[in-house]
Amino acid sequence: MTRIKPKADQIIAVCAATHGVTASQILGHRRMQPLATARQEVMFLMRMTRGDSHPEIGRRLGGRDHSTSMHGVRQVTKRAAEDADAARLDALTAAVHCPVLAKGVRR
């Protein structure tokens, strides 16, 4: 069974809801820790679930450079390997494919 690629807006909405921020904050330029973490998770999910290129991810997230996307994906991968973030990322990935599940995903 093939999965349909989730829309970028759907990924942003799920991550925003999970982190208690708005989609416009994720797309904005502020670098506060909660926003940066949510933004990095969006980058990770866009790369892993959609297969988007780093330049494409950067463009979709407010015109960021491709290296910002590369850094974000690396950071999320590193956090997942070091602690319990892996289970939460699995839940986020499932929620992206089925937004009804997003309510059960916690930071």
Q: What digits encode the pLDDT tens for the residues 66-82?
A: 999 999 999 999 988 87
- Supply the DSSP symbol for 100: G
What tens digit of pLDDT does each residue of 25-44 get?
999 999 999 999 999 999 99
Question: Nearest CA to 44 among 22, 65, 62, 71?
Answer: 71
Contacts of 23 (CB under 8 A, 6+ apart): 9, 12, 13, 16
- In this predicted structure, what is the pLDDT of residue 90? 82
What pLDDT, on the 0 to 100 scale, is given for residue 97? 75
Residue found by looking up tokens 């491709």 in the block: 66
CA distance 94 to 105: 10
- How sure is the predictor about 93, in pLDDT bands with cuts at 50, 70 and 90? confident
> Model confidence at 84, in pLDDT bands (50, 70, 90)?
low
Position 39 scores a pLDDT of: 97
Tell how far CA 15 is from the center of its chain.
6
pLDDT for position 105? 53
Residue 25, helix vs strand vs coil: helix
Confidence of residue 92 (pLDDT cuts 50, 70, 90): confident
Residue 96 has what pLDDT?
A: 83
Structure tokens at 70: 């590369």
